[in-house]
Structure 1
Amino acid sequence: MKPKSSTGGLVYSTDLGRICPACRHPVAACQCASAKPKAVTDGIVRVSRETKGRAGKGVTLVKGLALDEPALVTLAKQLKTACGSGGTVKDGVIEVQGDHCERVMALLQAQGHKVKRAGG
């Protein structure tokens, strides 16, 4: 029998489904995800507009929210619905398609966040 390497091993089990390679638990009960520290923020949510790397199309970025991933996705859905546009959550940053900085700032302030406009 070959020894398992530190990066190899069981990836899928018919009993448990997908297995986390780091902690060897089912992905649904992964020990690693809960051990990740939350992003350290200064308590200020920064809203900016960016076009870099998007073929000239502008997006509104919301950074600095100290929320976990499911809460970010829920907030992103609320913002996208209010702005009537699409968007996504990437690396703890909410992206809303289009220039909606003022509307997003008003919605976040209404929810009790301390909001600042960042960049130009």
Structure 2
Amino acid sequence: MDLKDQLKNLFPDHVSEEKPNQENNEPSYWLQDDPIICKYEKRKGKPVTILEGYNGADSDFKKLAKDLKSYLGVGGSFKKETIIIQGDYRDKIMDFLKENGFSVKRVGG
């Protein structure tokens, strides 16, 4: 006997409010027509990947930055409408963005 059966026995008149299952667990971001610029730089001798050119809401861009950092398992930040990811992860970032429906343009090297 599981918990639902026990609760039904205790409260036979109760109607349960079950939430519909969300089949699509993909993150939803505001998509744009212009491509996001993905470039590589060295700052203080360390490699960084910079994403810029997103013209949606800041909250969506921050959510995208958080998802990218957790996907890659690296650090980074969101400053002045750019995402800075520690390390050279251009290929993985571009694949992640393309899977989520973004168009991406690689700049430099």
Which of 51, 55, 58 is 1:66 aligned to?
A: 55
Aligned to 1:115: 104
Letter in 1 for 2:36: V
Aligned to 1:21: none
How far the C-alpha of 1:55 sits from its partner, in A, is 1.4
Please give the secondary structure, in 2, of the residue aligned with 1:104: helix
Question: Aligned runs of 1:1-120 on 2, under 5 Å?
Answer: 43-51=34-42, 54-120=43-109
How far the C-alpha of 1:80 sits from its partner, in A, is 0.5
| Partners of 2:36 and 2:105 within 8 A in 1 | yes
Q: Aligned residue pairs: how many? A: 78
Unaligned runs of 5+ in 1: 1-40
How far the C-alpha of 1:42 sits from its partner, in A, is 6.5
Aligned to 2:5: none
RMSD: 1.4
CA distance in 2, matches of 1:100, 1:114: 17
Higher relative CO (CA 8 A, sep ≥ 6), structure 1 or 2?
2
Please give the secondary structure, in 1, of the residue aligned with 2:46: coil
| Structure 1 residue runs of 4 or more that deviate by more than 3 Å after TM superposition | none
TM-score scaled by length of structure 2: 0.67
TM-score scaled by length of structure 1: 0.61
Please give the secondary structure, in 2, of the residue aligned with 1:66: coil
Whose radius of gyration is greater, 1 or 2? 2
Unaligned runs of 5+ in 2: 1-31
Letter in 1 for 2:65: A
